[in-house]
Chains A and B, each alone.
Chain A
């Protein structure tokens, strides 16, 4: 059973739809206690990092504890950003801190018409093999829509460049994250979600 955390940040419909298409068993827990016994946790997110303030307290502690127990955790978009220590977008809100580094605003380049937000399909560069991105090849396209991103560190398993490289996908033991939207990335995205469901049995 996968726990899909609904903390009020945008729209869970697409993620639900993708999980349903992949025959996943999932629920949206109404209280942090319900994370006991789940086989995986997904923290989605669309919008502003400040929305993750709703995870402060009970949810944060419960997700931290479940991750310590070895339960696989997947953060999507702002959910991935939350895995880090914090973000420039809302410096007063603390991240989970499962991964080192801070999320920063992307740089645009007006002369080359490279805009912020970074919206659309961009390629993944895969620096090393990973569990989450198994079956994908370097150059695979996924759908992004964001203005902030995490730095490329040792945990980066997929990097994307928009003016500068940033971490598009991360993996550290049982902690996984994707800056793009796998639920909107057609076959490549479904493959990634399928990989996570395989890990989170």
Chain B
């Protein structure tokens, strides 16, 4: 049976892993290659490296960081942050990424999704959606508003509707981050995850809000997520991947235990 995936995300700035709360207040969390090595031993299923300054500072994902991480782990590796063109994607993939994650660039230029899917296959193209609940959904635009440019700008799109378009353009997976929950450790936004999972036929990775073991169980059952991504709880070793997977298996959720 296909297992639910646990993904560790490393937000990287200047070659170091950092983590903030609701996209702000960044603090250092360690060396990417060292963290990747630990996650691999603990049984993480995938690793995502996000160059978080890339979008704002017009910087390409750090090839050196990707290379250092890719040398440590033989697991699927996704790179995101500042991938705006086929050339940016090619640079990440040549450095050792298996998948690239597109965010702002996909909304600005959806044809990029299709171009990359043709060149590398849909399995290599993740569309990342940063979204938050609309305070007044009755005003239109759907229940969940999509934000771009590292969460600074409202794209005036509904998350489920955009996910569906991304799939039709060739995306292989959706990485859905709840901006309301990011870094708060108050649990994933299961309602939003489910709304997007119901809208598409490709895997949905839930992100934002992981705090306790039970949050993962909730997002796999109530949220219908195919994978769950977390950062800070793994970085600071509050929760080990081993412990999390043991818990999920006890809850009857299929996970890879190695």
Select A162's contact among B2, B70, B73, beta carbons within 8 Å: B2
State which residues 184-201 of A face B: CB under 8 Å: 184-190
| B211 contacts A by Cβ under 8 Å | no
Chain B hits for A121, CB < 8 A: 2-3, 5, 45, 256
| B258 contacts A by Cβ under 8 Å | yes
Nearest CB of B to A56, in Å = 20
Chain A hits for B96, CB < 8 A: 13-14, 17
Instruction: List 15 additional contacts besides A14-B70, A119-B172; criterion CB under 8 Å.
Output: A13-B93, A14-B74, A17-B74, A46-B121, A47-B120, A113-B197, A119-B203, A120-B2, A120-B4, A120-B227, A121-B45, A141-B256, A141-B258, A143-B45, A146-B123
Question: Using an 8 Å CB-CB cutoff, how does the interface string of A130-154 with B read, 1 for contact, 0 for none?
Answer: 0000000000010101100000000
The answer to whether B75 touches A143, judged by C-beta atoms less than 8 angstroms apart, is: yes
| A10 contacts B by Cβ under 8 Å | yes
Tally of B interface residues using CB under 8 Å: 34
Nearest CB of A to B6, in Å = 10
Select B3's contact among A120, A146, A185, beta carbons within 8 Å: A120
CB-CB nearest in chain A for B70: A17
Chain A hits for B71, CB < 8 A: 17
Nearest CB of A to B61, in Å = 15
The answer to whether A11 touches B202, judged by C-beta atoms less than 8 angstroms apart, is: no
The number of A-B residue pairs with CB atoms under 8 Å apart is 97
| B122 contacts A by Cβ under 8 Å | yes
Nearest CB of B to A4, in Å = 16
Chain B hits for A108, CB < 8 A: 201
The answer to whether B74 touches A145, judged by C-beta atoms less than 8 angstroms apart, is: no
Question: Using an 8 Å CB-CB cutoff, how does the interface string of B221-258 with A read, 1 for contact, 0 for none?
Answer: 00010110000000000000000000000000000101
The answer to whether B70 touches A46, judged by C-beta atoms less than 8 angstroms apart, is: no
Q: Which residues of A contact B (CB under 8 A)?
A: 10-11, 13-14, 17-18, 21, 46-48, 108, 110, 113-123, 141, 143, 145-146, 161-162, 181, 183-190
| B212 contacts A by Cβ under 8 Å | no
Nearest CB of B to A107, in Å = 13
CB-CB nearest in chain B for A146: B123
The answer to whether B2 touches A122, judged by C-beta atoms less than 8 angstroms apart, is: yes
Using known A-B contacts A115-B202, A120-B226, A186-B40, determine if residue A10 contacts B74 with beta carbons closer than 8 Å.
no
The answer to whether B202 touches A10, judged by C-beta atoms less than 8 angstroms apart, is: no
The answer to whether B93 touches A11, judged by C-beta atoms less than 8 angstroms apart, is: yes
| B129 contacts A by Cβ under 8 Å | no
| 8 A-B pairs with least C-beta separation | A47-B121, A145-B123, A141-B256, A121-B256, A121-B3, A122-B2, A184-B76, A120-B2
Nearest CB of A to B65, in Å = 15
- Would you list 12 pairs from A and B whose C-beta atoms are within 8 A, ordered by A residue? A10-B120, A11-B93, A11-B120, A11-B124, A46-B121, A46-B123, A119-B226, A120-B45, A121-B5, A162-B2, A185-B74, A188-B258
Nearest CB of B to A110, in Å = 8
Chain B hits for A162, CB < 8 A: 2
CA of A186 to CA of B124, assembled, Å: 19
CB-CB nearest in chain A for B3: A121
State which residues 190-213 of B face A: CB under 8 Å: 197, 201-203
State which residues 108-134 of B face A: CB under 8 Å: 120-124
